[in-house]
Structure 1
Amino acid sequence: MSTTQANATAPPRRRLTREDRRRQLLDVAWQLVREEGTDALTLGRLAEQAGITKPVVYNHFATRPVLLAALYQDFDARQTALMDAALRSGEPTLPGTARVIASAYVDCVLLQGNEIPGVIAALASSPELEKIKREYEAIFLEKCRIVLSPFAGTGEIGAAGLRAMLGAAEALSHAAANGEITAVQAQEELFETIVAMVERTAVKVAGMHT
């Protein structure tokens, strides 16, 4: 069969939908960060790695900060889905809920590997990106507050305790990703931190009523 005949009978290449193209670009961007670091992530480099022209990338991500924000949003969506699924099937107790939060957070960071710390660091480089990170953190913390509140007596789990929990979650999960501690150690320490935070709130409430 001649080359012309082969080309005539070959199925046409399927054009990706906008959503599929965006997913492809995010996957390639994660791979680029994993292999070469966040500093290497530019729109031009992304186009080269994805095998497409720059205008296609610019059509999805107008600037590098927009791309970084999209990567963080992608990470957050994955973390939220993992946590929601675990909460639906987990035990509705303080230990059960705390373990779900701890495991889901650490597992999601480990699933993303060493890429997410670099993306988070890049987000902190500009007020606009830092604001986006803070907004997603606030949503995560509010979700934690809602699911943990039933175990805090009639007390309100405060912002300070939730922020301390998030700080521990980030530090422990990143330490696990870097191999400083194991995933189990990170999950157990975060689990203890969450339980202690809720129990402190319950004790304060009980003390006010005695």
Structure 2
Amino acid sequence: MSSEPVEEDSGLPGARPRRRLLREERLRQLLDEAWRLVRAEGTEALTLGRLAEAAGVTKPVVYDHFGTRQGLLAVLYREFDARQTARMDEALAASEATLSARATLIARCYVDCVLLQGREIPGVIAALAGSPELAAVKREYEAVFMEKCRRLLAPFAPQGRLGTAGLWAMLGAAESLSAAAAHGELGADAAQAELRDTIVAMVLRGGGAAS
């Protein structure tokens, strides 16, 4: 299929042709509108029909991109995860190889990414837990994140190993503190500092029981 845009005639004399969006452009429009809807109306309001209405397209267009509401939520979460991963990789390239520096990096990137997305991402994360299919998507990305943190932090742990229990505790703290910051219940600096201290403590005790 050609990736070139298709020009549509508006049918009005003297009017300029209206460009039909490429598939990837349409997807970007729909995702931007989905994030806006979640921010303005909450995750519960995000249905494919409501998204079609807000984006000014027909329902089949939205169904073609996402299939189901679960599919839409999964794409939103993947986009959030990709943004978080990119921020962490960029920060890691300029980070010192010390426990304090890496714990600070993880804490800052996690909290900042949630705050950048705003209140909508805690709602999306909560919605993921309501479906076994979406919970599996979330767990898949959580496993990748924790393994990345294990590689970054294990060299500073006793015997160079981190238990899985500690990594799950770290992730739970990251989600809770970030959500509190996103809802204005906690300052960003306080959330990052607490998460950093939690990570350092977890590493120094070896991350709890081994997997």
* TM-score normalized by the length of structure 2: 0.89
Q: CA deviation at 1:70?
A: 0.7
Which structure 1 segments of 5+ residues have no match?
205-210
Q: Comparing 156-165 with 144-153, which one deviates more in the overlay?
A: 144-153
Kindly provide the amino acid, as one letter, of the partner of residue 147 in structure 1. L
Moved more, 64-73 or 15-24: 15-24
Distance across 2 between alignment mates of 1:13 and 1:188:
51
Q: Are 1:17 and 2:6 matched, yes or no?
A: no
Tell me how far apart the structure 2 counterparts of residues 32 and 163 of structure 1 sit (CA, whole Å). Answer: 31
Give, in whole Å, the separation in 1 of the partners of 2:123 and 2:190: 22
Out of 183, 190, 210, the position equivalent to 2:188 is 183
> Of 42, 48, 53, which residue of structure 2 is paired with 1:37?
42
- Asked whether the equivalents of residues 155 and 161 of structure 2 are also in contact (C-alpha less than 8 Å), the reply is no
Superposition deviation, residue 14 in structure 1: 2.5
**Rounded Cα–Cα distance in structure 2 between residues aligned with 1:19 and 1:137:** 26
Deviation of residue 154 (structure 1)?
2.8
CA RMSD of superposed structures (Å): 1.5
Q: Once the 2 structures are TM-superposed, how far is the Cα of residue 13 of structure 1 from its aligned partner?
A: 2.5
1:47 aligns with 2:20: no
Q: CA deviation at 1:126?
A: 1.2
TM-superposed deviation, 1:201: 1.9
Are 2:124 and 1:116 equivalent residues in the alignment?
Answer: no
Q: How does 1:20-169 map to 2 (within 5 A)?
A: 20-169=25-174
SS in 2 for 1:157: coil
TM-fit CA distance, 1:193: 0.6
Query: How many residue pairs are counted as aligned between the two chains?
Result: 197
Kept after mapping to 1: 8 A contact 2:158/2:205: no
Query: What is the letter of the counterpart of residue 18 of structure 1?
Result: R
* Identical positions, percent: 68
In structure 2, how many angstroms separate the alpha carbons of the residues matched to 1:98 and 1:14?
A: 48
Instruction: After TM superposition, give the deviation of residue 155 of structure 1 in Å.
Output: 3.0
**Quick check: which has more Rg, 1 or 2?**
1
TM-superposed deviation, 1:153: 4.5
Q: Which segments of 5 or more consecutive residues in structure 2 lack a partner in the other structure? A: 1-11
Between Structure 1 and Structure 2, which shows a larger proportion of helix residues? 1
- TM-score, structure 1 length as denominator? 0.90
| Structure 1 runs, 4 residues or longer, greater than 6 Å off | none
Distance 2:79 2:22 in 1: 18
